[in-house]
Structure 1
Amino acid sequence: MRRTLVVAWAFVLLLSGPVWAGKRAFTIEDLYRIKNVADPQISPDGKQIAFVVTEYNLREGKSNSDLWLMNADGTHLRQLTHSEAADWYPRWSPDGKTILFLSTRKDGAQIWLLPVEGGEPRQLTKMSTGVSDPVWSPDGKWIAFSSSVFPECGADDSCNRAIQEKMNDGPIQAHLADELLYRHWDFWKDGKVVHTFVVEVESGNVRDLTPGPFDAPAFSLEGGRGYVFSPDGKEICFVSNHDRDQALSTNKDLWVVPVTGGDPVNITDDNEAYDADPLYSPDGRYIAYRMQKVPGYESDRFRLAVYDRKTGTKRVLTEAFDNWVVDFRWSPDSKSIYFLGEVRGHVPLYRVDVATGKTNLVVDDKTIDAFEVAPDGKWIAYVRRSVAEPREIYRVTVAGTGRKRLTEFNKPIEEEVDIRPAEEMWVKGADGDSIHVFVVKPHGFDPSKKYPLILNVHGGPQSQWADAFRGDWQVYPGAGYIVAFPNPHGSTGYGQRFTESISGDWGGKVMEDIMKVTDALAALPWVDEERMGAMGWSWGGYAMMWLEGHTDRFKCLAAMMGVYDLRSMYGATEELWFPEWDMKGTPWTSDLYEKFSPSNYVVNFKTPCLVITGELDFRVPYTQSLQFFTALQRRGVPSRLIVFKNDGHWPNFVKSMPLYYAAHLDWFSRWLGGGGSPWPIEKMVRNMAW
């Protein structure tokens, strides 16, 4: 019997007829027609904005990025580069006459310089090891950048090239390690470290500012600032972790070093947790940065702090803000800092007063991915999206008024295709806490009908589903499915206590939340409770493997890059601080590895399951999925395995993700009865689908 649940709904819809009227359903091919608009950079005089637009070719599995330029009000839009190679990461010179950018048009990723008033770009660097994250010095004479090099070589590129060529071309092909963290994310370190360099713009001469055996800047999956010049151009602040046991340490520190070279000084040595993403105040008095307080816990609350360069003291500005600070920028007068935060499924923009710590909301525009403050301090350019709106560039005053859309690269597809919006519901979960759920209804939705439903559990697990455009939120509704995205215990955006609650409790409150959300969804009149499936990626993949052994509520499951056996996962993953914190120890000191391993519940496996993984996934090694698939097959459970040969934890968007979406549609159609894949999966794997 269907249980009666009290569910609170918040509808952000429809004033006059369905939004899909006259539009057709969204497809996988439409996803690859969407142009990605990103990285807005305001010119020093505040009159222009440079940015990047990426286009995709689904059938060729290719993408290309180019630089664009427009006036600050969105007028006089023009394309700056037209190369068949990728051009990205535009940065204005301090005098506004030149835009540096990264390009693969020659010698791999290198720095190129483009005159704004016209002319051909010139190549500045020729590092065989490639270049990342270039930053202008305030006087425009130097550019800092990072590159992965052999420490004994440093800036000697001929040395780096010789070693790499021998390793690539010699008869012996092997990896060597004498300590942990020998591989990271999707690459083997092979004796290399990341260093910060400066290149002289006039001569092209390169110097290594951070020689030695440590990554400087330290690895950051989310990007962020690894180094920055002081306003007077005399020093650089960079991020590095010099702890001995790198695989066990979440510590990062801020170091300062003269641009002319010298011994770096650690200015955050008193904190054994995360200190990173430095940014000097325009007046030079402070260095703002993000920090955590709990060593070894990667999901501690990210706070915004300032270091006073005159006194050497540090102060947290956002202690009263009980969610994660994501990114930030100074106001031109150095009196306040603008920052993004993850809050209840949104990513709004805030401003904090440096003197008082008072925080105010500037604008909540669903999901803001990036922003820049204008030089006059009066307005802000930002990239935003929502479930029904792909990324575009907008502007708003610093008071949060006068919101204006500046770009319309995706307007044609928005007018042609039904890009579905999200509705929101709240369900009472474990401990009586309210669980936030986004629901996307299918194209042509009719409330008198019943539809198959897909519940999608996010990874992390300390992250949040946000009101943001994503493929999963559109491809499946376009094929006739309802999709639901819950933020259960462990999610960010609902206070740090809520985030912390999942550590040491992977099979507890969060799984109770998932099942209560399932009950609430099944009770909706337009959900067919006999045709409900679930899917998840990373920790969400773990959740699918756990549900496989604990419920038969779902007609099918799909587990991507999931954790199956926690003991063997510990022995093969790279960042050991994560399992040691969340499982409260090692496999030989904590029984949670056994308690919460899906591998211990194989006898209960019965739900058909799709399994997807990538051979280069060093975070959740692909052998976890192989073990899971083996168990499913030996138990006689209908199952399918897809292994991406050249991908890690995040498969390539244009080469591999089309198969990901199609395989899910094929699987859900088989077991839930909704729309299926537009192409045979076997032909896609053989590159014969089109």
Structure 2
Amino acid sequence: MRSPSRALRPGQHAELYIVDVDTGERTLVHESPTVLFEAPNWTPDGMHLLVNGDGWLYRIPVEGGDLAEVPLGEIPPINNDHVLSPDGETVYVSANDGHLYAIPFATGLPRRVSNDHGTDFRHYLHGVSPDGSTLAYIGMLVAEDGAVTTNVFTLPAAGGEDTQLTDDPFPNDGSEYSPDGQWIYFNSERASATPGHAQLFRMAPDGTGVEQLSHDERVNWFPHVSPDGRRIVYVSFPPGTIGHPADHDVIIRVIEPDGAVRDLASLFGGQGTMNVASWAPDSTRVAFVAYPVRS
């Protein structure tokens, strides 16, 4: 048993849902009163979901069933930042040692991808380019005085030199490629003087041409673009929220092709609900996790 980064509260359950983006109809796939699982993403064939929990990675059929452990080899416990390669043959994970690893499903043998930037630097993975060649991650640097900066970086999936795309004091997170590879989407506090007021942005893969996509009073995190490139879903926290904490009333929202924003689902969740790409391959459904507390 690995040590989880957080655990369910007394009476709390983790519930994995699939929601139809057009109708809003929810389907409960799996629930647990013991395992705090997080961050679903889909296999490219649309048959399974992957979630992390207790430091492990699990696979579950979309129609429901039991969580089946995915072999990760000898790596430290993982967190909720994991993505699949476009061909579905490799999973890339962020481990609690601060590094990124590639694990082919065929062998289960991990390969460290990230470079060593010292113990005060940690990698949090969020995206892989459509051609599978490049990873987008958040680099978190903790200074000697405790100040934290988070910036967007890219890194060859095969290993190689990092490229820093943002270099600023604003909290940045959730960097994810668009399906056509023309953009990297992310959330940032760069447009507000109010701490915690994150909004959604995108930029070219070289870090130029930054555009703001959301403009409201709520705190918006983790933009995920549908595989057909038409819609964006994200997690919206109440105004005044700092960061992306657990155990909050949040809304999953959709930005439509015409720019209209609508609510898709309201739930008790936040951290772990939808940290990574969570669209079905056919762009009709999204997976998320809720964490209700029952009396």
Structure-1-length-normalised TM-score: 0.33
What is the distance in 2 between the residues matched to 1:141 and 1:274?
Answer: 32
Residue 254 of structure 2 corresponds to 351
Q: CA deviation at 1:362?
A: 3.1
Residue 360 of structure 1 corresponds to 261
Q: CA deviation at 1:97?
A: 5.1
Structure having the higher helix fraction is: 1
Q: CA deviation at 1:201?
A: 1.9
Deviations 1:196-255 (A, max 9, x none): 11112222332222221143325xxxxxxx332112211100111346446123x21110
- Match 1:95 to one of 45, 48, 71: 45
1:215–1:53 distance in 2 versus 1, CA, 3 Å: farther
- Tell me if 1:306 matches 2:202: yes
SS in 1 for 2:146: helix
SS in 2 for 1:138: coil
Which has the higher relative contact order, 1 or 2, with Cα contacts under 8 A spaced 6 or more apart? 2
1:280–1:119 distance in 2 versus 1, CA, 3 Å: same
Q: CA deviation at 1:258?
A: 0.8
Matches for 1:315-334 after TM superposition, within 5 Å: 315-318=211-214, 320-334=215-229
Aligned residue type for 1:283:
D
Q: CA deviation at 1:136?
A: 1.6
- Tell me if 1:143 matches 2:143: no
Residue 523 of structure 1 corresponds to none
1:236–1:53 distance in 2 versus 1, CA, 3 Å: same
Residue 228 of structure 1 corresponds to 127
What is the distance in 1 between the residues matched to 2:66 and 2:265?
Answer: 40
8 Å CA contact 1:348, 1:361 repeated in 2: no
8 Å CA contact 1:52, 1:89 repeated in 2: no
Matches for 1:217-616 after TM superposition, within 5 Å: 217=123, 226-242=125-141, 244-245=143-144, 247-249=146-148, 251-269=149-167, 271-293=168-190, 299-309=195-205, 312-318=208-214, 320-343=215-238, 347-352=250-255, 358-363=259-264, 365=266, 369=270, 370=273, 373-378=279-284, 380=286, 391=292
Q: CA deviation at 1:42?
A: 7.6
1:95–1:50 distance in 2 versus 1, CA, 3 Å: farther
8 Å CA contact 2:16, 2:287 repeated in 1: no
SS in 2 for 1:348: strand
Residue 611 of structure 1 corresponds to none
- Tell me if 1:196 matches 2:100: yes
Consecutive unaligned residues in structure 2, runs of 5 or more: 1-8, 21-25, 240-247
Residue 32 of structure 2 corresponds to 54
What is the distance in 2 between the residues matched to 1:245 and 1:88?
Answer: 31
What is the distance in 1 between the residues matched to 2:253 and 2:48?
Answer: 31
SS in 2 for 1:204: coil
Q: CA deviation at 1:309?
A: 2.8
Q: CA deviation at 1:340?
A: 3.2
1:375–1:128 distance in 2 versus 1, CA, 3 Å: closer
Aligned residue type for 1:304:
L
Deviations 1:49-78 (A, max 9, x none): 6744222xxxxxxxx23xxxxxxxxxxxxx
1:246–1:148 distance in 2 versus 1, CA, 3 Å: farther
8 Å CA contact 1:40, 1:50 repeated in 2: yes
Aligned residue type for 1:95:
D
What is the distance in 1 between the residues matched to 2:51 and 2:32?
Answer: 14
How much is the aligned-residue C-alpha RMSD, in angstroms? 4.1
1:363–1:95 distance in 2 versus 1, CA, 3 Å: closer
Instruction: Give 1 or 2 for the bigger CA radius of gyration.
Output: 1
Aligned residue type for 2:203:
Y
- Tell me if 1:38 matches 2:25: no
Structure-2-length-normalised TM-score: 0.70
SS in 2 for 1:362: strand
Deviations 1:147-176 (A, max 9, x none): 234xxxxxxxxxxxxxxxxxxxxxxxxxxx
Q: CA deviation at 1:325?
A: 0.8
Residue 126 of structure 1 corresponds to 73
Q: CA deviation at 1:140?
A: 1.7
How many residue pairs end up in the alignment?
265
